Chain A
Amino acid sequence: MIFQEKHELIRKLAKGFADRELTSEVLDEAEERGYFDRALLDKMGKIGFFGIKTPKELGGQGSDCLAYVIATEEMCRASAAFGLYISTQNSLVSMPIMISGSREQKEKYMPPISSGEYIGAFGLTEPGAGSDAGGMTTRAVLDGDYYILSGRKTFITGAPTADIAIIYAKTDPDKGLRGISTFVMDMRAPGVSLGKPENKLGIRGCPTSDIIMENVRVHKSGLLGDLGRGFANAMGTLDIGRIGIAAQAIGIGQACLDESVKYANERKQFGKRIGEFQGVSFKLADMYAKLQAAKELTYQAALLVDAGVTGGQISLAASTCKLYSAEAVNQIAYDAIQIHGGYGFMKDYRVERLYRDARILPIYEGTSEVQKMVMAAQLLKR
């Protein structure tokens, strides 16, 4: 794909930020302790990385989905854990409000989300409701001007450092998917507590935990959209969110390829650079081809969003790029380790972390199997 100059400059900005700020010391420290300094997130917010697509009148940058993809990709090329904040803030936290929020709600929440004053989390998954989001048991019961929220959300990205959370809860348990509603919850409200930060395989620099709600009072002004429309809100959000995970994937994939090419040019065995052996050079060619295909699918999905396409066509495009990129980048990361041999298995080499970080891609924001369900449903409609 040929980019416009504007998008090239956005890439330059994101890459410049990553090169200057995400030093190996910063990344190793985050990996070790499980979170990044808030000051670094504040810096990111000031540049505009948290409100890329958000309209200017709501405190955002007024840019587009392709800019969002490029920024996420470049940041994840340096650190998938750090880049995750871009996709969480821009899609999982912003989209539910942009899709269903009233004007007042948008004016209240979007400026601090865009600036990074509020770091948010997205609470859909529960211990017993993963791919089957409709099986959730979190309840919201109206009591005067307040909804009383009770339940447990699990594996919530960024929960330990979040100021607010989007919470999906059943307001009418008898109505199944049509009984789910969306709330914005203050993470400091009485009754909110956190599970222990999870000890994860990858993306360790971005903390994950449960959110436990025990009779948390959320004012009815925190209800997003109509009662019972929460499932549609979540699915609409994830359609765009999935493009962000694909962007994360291609960033990780590019880093794997960069490292592998470098190593293949340096490492010598049998008196030759290992890149001169077909066993290695063909791998590089395959990695490149997969990565380019993943990129094109992802950029294409972003361009469709920017062209104003909605509904089934976007669901299909987003799931396709997420499915393909997540799977392809896991193969790319596997090959990157293989090219590095024993060194790739050691934490001293970057590919070790990239391999672990890639593993979440076919799982979160809809497993690869869920993407296939979404895609097949669209295909069979035709």
Chain B
Amino acid sequence: MKIIVCAKQVPDTNEVKIDPVKGTLIREGVPSILNPDDANALEAALSLKDTYGGEVHVISMGPGQAKYMLRECLAMGADDAVLLSSRVFGGADTYVTANTVAEGIKKIGGFDIIFAGRQAIDGDTAQVGPQIAGRLGLPVVTYVQAIREVKEKSVIVERQMEDGYEVIEIPLPCVLTAVKELNSPRYMTLMGIEDAYAREITVWDEKDLNIEPEKCGLKASPTKVWKSFTPPPKGKGQMLGGSAGDAAAALIDALNHKNMLKKEG
């Protein structure tokens, strides 16, 4: 079984800073991590490999520093990692990102399953996984919370819903996007880290992927950001202690104080 995992390096913070002019993320000075849902995607791929054998390839698009995240994936047990990196890839929206990553996946080729995380904690769009499926003409199940059975030509998964889950059988090859409930990502191993640094990470640019530069990055992105802003921080919450009665009385006092309660005449 050949599995490809799409991974993204994201800033390790809930307070993403945004370039007010370009409307893109400011990555400098922010510690970066493997996107949490992508770690679940990688774990799903590695445990399928543990059971059925095969190989796991990780693909990412980003600046050179994303190699660090890819080495983390190798140290967890991935067999190979590819970074799509070029100046012209910069500033891509989800549409163009999916186009570029899909080309990278085609170049790796011969896959049975493509895993992606549900969404990245920086953009939160949850679009790239399904868009890749669209570009490659593959079926997709999003929000996969369990993999029930892998058959020769299909896989049966549970798709998370707000009030339960669906059981779906999907033909191979396919795209699956993982939620955190799917599994608990394994640790790296020390030997895995040693091995990850004893090798080079493959880097492909637009020439390697045979894409025209004008079809990449910010310029080719149809998404036009009108305005980006960081929402103002919420005020500090206040805990009301004591018995339920005391707390309710204190709450009513506080609301009255702010004139938020209407007294019935």
**Contacts from A to B (Cβ < 8 Å):** 5-6, 9-10, 12-13, 16-17, 46-49, 52, 56, 60-63, 67, 71
A-contact 0/1 string along B63-77, CB 8 Å cutoff: 000001001100100
Q: Within 8 Å CB of A16, what residues of B? A: 187
> Is B79's CB within 8 Å of the partner chain A?
no
Q: Which 4 A-B pairs have the closest CB atoms?
A: A48-B190, A61-B190, A61-B191, A6-B197
Closest partner residue, chain B, to A48 (CB atom): B190
Q: Are B194 and A63 in contact (CB under 8 A)?
A: yes
Q: A61: which B residues are within 8 A, CB to CB?
A: 189-191, 194
How distant is the Cα of A61 from the Cα of B187 in the complex, in angstroms?
Answer: 15
Q: Which residues of A contact B193 (CB under 8 A)?
A: 6, 9-10, 13, 63
**Which single residue of chain B is at the shortest CB-CB distance from A60?**
B191
A16 to B184, CA, bound (A): 13
13 A-B pairs (CB sep. < 8 Å): A5-B68, A5-B197, A6-B197, A9-B68, A9-B75, A9-B196, A13-B75, A47-B187, A48-B189, A48-B191, A61-B190, A62-B191, A67-B190
B191 touches A56 (CB 8 A): yes
B188 touches A (CB below 8 Å): yes
| CB atoms of A9 and B191 under 8 A apart | no
Task: State in angstroms the CA–CA spacing of A62 and B189 once bound together.
Answer: 11
Tell whether A47 pairs with B189 under 8 Å between CB atoms, given A5-B197, A6-B197, A62-B194: yes
Against A, the Cβ 8 Å flags (1 = close, 0 = not) of B184-205 are 0001111101101100000000
Q: Mark B44-80, 1 if CB is under 8 A from A, else 0.
A: 0000000000000000000000001001100100000
Chain B: interface residue total (CB-CB under 8 A): 13
Q: Which residues of A contact B71 (CB under 8 A)?
A: 5, 9
A60–B188 Cα distance when bound, in Å, is 15
Which residues of the partner chain A approach B190 to less than 8 Å between Cβ atoms? 10, 13, 47-49, 52, 61, 63, 67, 71
Task: For the complex formed, measure the closest distance between the CB of B9 and the CB atoms of chain A, giving whole angstroms.
Answer: 13
Find the residue from A6, A9, A47, A61 having the highest chain B CB count within 10 A.
Answer: A9
What residue of chain A has the Cβ atom nearest to residue B68's Cβ? A5
Given contacts A10-B190, A61-B194, 16 further A-B contacts (CB under 8 A): A5-B68, A6-B194, A6-B197, A9-B75, A9-B188, A13-B187, A13-B188, A17-B187, A47-B188, A48-B189, A48-B191, A49-B190, A63-B190, A63-B191, A63-B193, A67-B190
Instruction: Report the bound CA distance from A9 to B194 in whole Å.
Output: 10
Q: How far is the CA of A63 from the CA of B190 in the complex (A)?
A: 7
Complex CA gap A17/B186 in Å reads: 10
Distance in Å: Cβ of A171 to nearest Cβ of chain B: 37
Q: CB-CB < 8 A to B194: which residues of A?
A: 6, 61-63
Q: How far is the CA of A17 from the CA of B185 in the complex (A)?
A: 12
Q: Tell me the bound Cα distance from A47 to B75 in angstroms.
A: 10
* Nearest A-chain residue to B33, judged by Cβ: A12
Q: How far is the CB of A70 from chain B (nearest CB, A)?
A: 10
Cα separation A78 to B71 with both chains bound (whole Å)? 26
Distance of A7 from chain B, by nearest CB (Å): 9
Interface residues of B in 87-126 (CB under 8 A from A): none
User: CA separation between A6 and B68, bound complex, in Å?
Assistant: 9
Which residues in A have their C-beta under 8 angstroms from that of B75? 9, 13
| Residue of B whose beta carbon sits closest to that of A59 | B191
Interface residues of B in 172-194 (CB under 8 A from A): 187-191, 193-194
Q: How far is the CA of A49 from the CA of B190 in the complex (A)?
A: 7
Cα–Cα, bound, A71→B196 (Å): 18
CB distance from B104 to the nearest CB of A (A): 23
Residues on B with C-beta less than 8 A from A5 are: 68, 71, 197
> Inside 8 A of B197's CB, which chain A residues have their CB?
5-6
Q: Smallest distance from the beta carbon of B255 to chain A beta carbons, Å?
A: 28
Q: Which residue of A lies closest to B192 (CB)?
A: A48
In the docked arrangement, what's the CA distance between A60 and B190, Å? 9
**Which residues of the partner chain A approach B68 to less than 8 Å between Cβ atoms?**
5, 9
Interface centre among A48, A52, A71 (most CB of B within 10 A): A48
- Nearest-CB distance from A8 to chain B (Å)? 8
**Once bound together, how far apart are the Cα atoms of A16 and B187, in whole Å?**
8
- Min CB–CB distance B50 → chain A (angstroms): 13
| C-alpha spacing A12/B190, complex, angstroms | 11
- Chain B residues with Cβ below 8 Å from A10 are 190, 193
Residue of B nearest to A62 (CB): B194
Give Cα A60–Cα B191 distance, bound, in whole angstroms: 8
A21 and chain B: residue at smallest CB distance = B187
Bound complex: CA A62 to CA B196 (Å): 13
- Bound form: Cα–Cα A16–B191 in Å: 16
Cα distance, A63 to B193, chains bound together (Å)? 9
Most buried by A among B72, B190, B191, B193: B190
Measured between alpha carbons, how far is A56 from B190 in the docked complex, in Å?
11
Q: Which residue of B lies closest to A71 (CB)?
A: B190
Q: State A67–B196 Cα separation when bound (angstroms).
A: 15
Q: Which residues of B contact A46 (CB under 8 A)?
A: 189
Smallest CB–CB gap between B174 and chain A, Å? 31
Q: In the bound complex, how far is the Cα of B71 from the Cα of A46, in angstroms?
A: 19
Residue pair B189, A9 in contact (C-beta under 8 Å)? no
Nearest chain B CB to A75's CB is how many angstroms away?
Answer: 13
- For the complex, give the distance between the alpha carbons of A10 and B195 in Å: 12
A62 to B194, CA, bound (A): 7
Chain B nearest CB, measured from A16 CB (Å) = 7
Which one of B72, B187, B188 has the highest number of Cβ atoms from chain A below 10 Å of its Cβ?
B187
Residues of chain B contacted by A63 (CB below 8 angstroms): 190-191, 193-194
Cβ of A350 to closest chain B Cβ, rounded Å: 23
Nearest CB to that of A52 among chain B residues?
B190
Q: In whole angstroms, what is the CA distance A47 to B188 when docked?
A: 7
Q: Which residues of A contact B196 (CB under 8 A)?
A: 9
A14 to chain B, nearest CB (A): 9
Chain B residues closer than 8 Å to A48, beta-carbon distance: 189-191
Q: Considering only CB atoms, which chain B residue lies closest to A44 in the complex?
A: B187
Contact partners of A47 in chain B: CB under 8 A = 187-190
A52 to B189, CA, bound (A): 10
